[in-house]
Structure 1
């Protein structure tokens, strides 16, 4: 079928992920992937938009245009550096940046910015965007959308696999070894979002490298217990969430409710334990009692977090996506490249058993070059 480019800024807002994939009738191959840091001003705007209770419409519009232009420029440079021309690329799949994800209620929605008109204009390549709305329109959560790509590249007929993506938010896809069994996937709660928010607020770092800070502290048990009383964790899948729920205010409110005065280091350790525990409980409770847990996303690079997952999942084999030959930083961007392929082919892009939609839909809208 040809080459497709995917682009996404995830819930961690740590950069723009780009991936080039090749799709044919038999396989999907991730050929190249990079992460491009955001200019400080753009990153600051995106962080503000995703955490503020309200948004100025002019600020939102300017950021939408700015991000779209930035994505277009970076894709053009990406493919040129690799030696491809725009005529080699069938389509771009751009997720953009989620600024609000409100998946429940009569008029649920998920809103991403990053003007696809500008991406198409800058690159000269047809661009597909707005992937979540079609699923939401038929009763789905609009998330997670990665399971259809997970199924294509990670499925094993020998062992059950759970693909755990630890970005800002953690999500899982359960791929049973029996191909006739239903695939499920859902958000499990915080990934890097709480860890990064606390680290940036207290330690003047973007993130806790290798989990070194968290590894030096101790869990505040009363605070951990307070976090785990959150009824969100007990909601049956399908379910999804975002930074509008799991953020710095969420941490501060729970510290107040717990009535504790833990040190910043110990709170960070507690947040790492919350992330690992909520993820491991979701895997054991709703996925499988044993098998492979394949971790992708930035969280797989947090050595302390990975060690806690291994401890909490003794009957599972916990490994990084990279061990299976798939760059763990490339999976989400590659997913949206693959969703662009499905759109061009007019194939269904959602999995109703994952999102809760009442039927399969072709996902996305076309923005011609």
Structure 2
């Protein structure tokens, strides 16, 4: 790997990068050096740089990148503290670049970097986006997918096809190349959440894009662990819903309300269970069911609704206490508003109860977003 050139000698400085390769990563320390070596081999003759956007990995991913960056000025580490998520990592990586072209590739070595020159030529030749495709003729996905990942990816692709203005064989791909100028033009309309930023880009462009699909063989993972699970699919469904509704109803609020509905079922189940135990009065059973439901709601929201701001350790305990407090105030407001509407004859039991419940959902969401899971 070439040593860094001396900055005082203009003739020895490396050429400005034409292509920035953005590599979102979390716990990929073992894959950093192989990734740089593979990019070096694949992009000979191209002025490139690699930006590893690391979500504060505990395995030392950022430190490993910096070790290589000390010898190779084309490699940079962008370490994010208190922020998580592939989409926002890609955005920050793109905004840190001055290169006219950007590529996005996973840090787990499952994407085939040898097709980057073909993707680059496709965009140079007029395509607005070049997508590394597992489903184009000559591509293959089966070898790198578990059965679960294949089902999630297949379902996501079918749902995406219903909304995309541009037909794309592999819309769930996280491997693509485009001009930075186009990315920044679309950026204000991106949801910037979740793991499938390509779909977000295609849906947010406001028009069909010229897409070139370059086939590749999806590789098995050699080191580290996959981050794809059922909650990724839920986030993806939220993204599709957000885009289909034009963004007027935030997907995070819908997810929060959905978790609240689960909490109601938990509350009723616990209340029914305790009602059959002799010696337990209604008030005690109601309070117990309330706390169980709030705890379940908190854990589900931490896992799903606020996945990118997930609390851990001491912050988890603090967040739970704040959630109890906020929801307690919301419950009191629910009763107060419903009672007032009923007392003043504005509404009957059903409408008054619904108004109180709606107020509670909005209040709890506001408290959760601003105090419990606030951006750090």
Q: Tell me the TM-score range normalised by the shorter chain.
A: under 0.3
* TM-score where L is the length of structure 1: 0.25
**Which structure would you say has the larger Rg?**
2
Q: Which has the higher contact order (CA 8 A, sep 6+)?
A: 1
* TM-score where L is the length of structure 2: 0.25
Q: Which is helix-richer, 1 or 2?
A: 2
